[in-house]
């Protein structure tokens, strides 16, 4: 094969490589990916302002999720102190929100959640405290966010009580991407890193920049 032919062949390979690099550099395909652990089921809960919040309201946002109760004097205050740091770290991120579900809806009314939120100076646009029926709340904890053992749901609902220090990380497309211990510094550091990572992701599939094959969910 002549040197000229080798030159053209090499130039073609280089040009092809540059073309694909230009396309895929603006997508999620080259980035490190967190595994998908589950998909969040449809939900409808009420926040501290009395507004009904569904999965559609938080679509397109990265979500950190927890389960707590306002009268807890054990792990919950420590969890929410750590959660407040996360809220502060990502306060300027439009596509980020925290969802804190009560596990004691009989006591944690909307008014009580509002009082609790006010005591922590929580911005309701960035951090929602949610209530609903015990059945639906516990179902979400176990079947959507995997924060409690499914076997614990076999007892009568009146006898059940979820008390977990775990945080769940959900991406913009409503997929569970990680579970973290909300009391361990090392895991909270990892959570912050992972939030930053999936904030860079789009919805389902690649999102191309510069208008090239862009998958725009809006």
Location of structure tokens 């409690």: 148
Of residues 65, 6, 13, 57, the one with CA closest to residue 37: 65
Does the annotation place 104 within a ligand binding site? no
| Distance, CA of 42 to chain centre | 15
Contacts of 67 (CB under 8 A, 6+ apart): 100, 101, 102, 103, 137, 141, 147, 148, 162, 164
Q: How far apart are the first and last CA of the chain?
A: 52
**How far apart (Å, rounded) are the C-alpha atoms in residues 12 and 9?**
5
Does the annotation place 72 within a ligand binding site? yes
DSSP state string for 126-171: TEEEEB--HHHHHHIIIIIS--S-GGGGGS-GGG------EEEEE-
**How far apart (Å, rounded) are the C-alpha atoms in residues 98 and 198?**
15
For the sheet containing 175-181, what is the strand order? 38-39, 175-181, 166-170, 62-68, 96-102, 127-130
Does the annotation place 166 within a ligand binding site? no
Binding site residue list for Cu cation:
72, 76, 163
Annotated binding site: 72, 76, 163
């Amino acid at each position: 094969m002549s040197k000229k032919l080798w030159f053209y062949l090499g130039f073609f390979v280089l040009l092809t490589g540059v073309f694909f690099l230009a396309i895929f550099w603006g997508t999620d395909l080259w980035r490190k990916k967190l595994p998908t652990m589950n998909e969040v089921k449809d939900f409808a809960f009420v926040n501290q302002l009395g507004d009904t919040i569904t999965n559609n309201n938080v679509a397109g946002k990265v979500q950190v999720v927890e389960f707590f109760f306002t009268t807890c004097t054990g792990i919950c205050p420590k969890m929410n102190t750590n959660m407040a740091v996360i809220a502060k770290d990502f306060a300027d991120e439009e596509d980020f929100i925290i969802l804190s579900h009560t596990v004691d809806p009989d006591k944690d009314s909307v008014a009580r959640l509002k009082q609790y939120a006010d005591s922590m100076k929580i911005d309701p646009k960035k951090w929602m405290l949610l209530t609903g029926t015990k059945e639906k709340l516990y179902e979400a904890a176990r079947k959507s966010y995997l924060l409690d053992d499914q076997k614990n749901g076999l007892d009568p609902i009146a006898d059940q009580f979820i008390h977990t220090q775990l945080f769940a990380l959900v991406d913009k497309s409503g997929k569970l991407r990680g579970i973290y211990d909300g009391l361990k510094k090392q895991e909270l550091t990892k959570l912050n890193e992972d939030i930053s990572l999936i904030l860079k992701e789009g919805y389902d599939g690649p999102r191309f920049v510069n208008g090239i094959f862009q998958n725009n969910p809006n």
